[in-house]
Amino acid sequence: MLKVGLVGASSMMLGIFVCLRPGEFWIWADGVAFSLLGVFMVPILPTALGAGVECTYPIPEEFSSGFLMTIGQVFGIAFTFACTGGLSPFSAGG
């Protein structure tokens, strides 16, 4: 399940990057790509948390799940700031 979800989510992310090129506006392709990304990513969360709990067996399940979700949020915030910093020169140029 994890492999199928990760391959599908990676494929949809590639599709989103292709659809969001500057100067092109394919709203239907964006909608399909984002919808399928959600379809593939929703089952990944409980599967990944379960795998994380199994890998950290002596540690309690609540701590492992909470730690994984916290680290995911921290990486998400860092990635958002990194992407925003990388895009700002392009948006300022017009």
Q: What is the per-residue pLDDT across 12-39, written as a single tens digit (0 to 9) for each?
A: 988 888 777 666 667 788 888 889 999 9
pLDDT band at 3 (very low <50, low <70, confident <90, very high): confident
Q: Please report, for the chain, the start and end positions of each structural domain, with discontinuous segments joined by +.
A: 2-92
Report d(CA 83, CA 66) in Å as an integer: 26
Distances (CA, A) of 89 to 40, 66, 76, 83, 93: 32, 36, 21, 11, 6
pLDDT surpasses 70 at 53: yes
**Exposed/middle/buried for residue 38 (C-beta within 10 Å: 0-12, 13-18, 19+):** exposed
Report d(CA 67, CA 30) in Å as an integer: 33
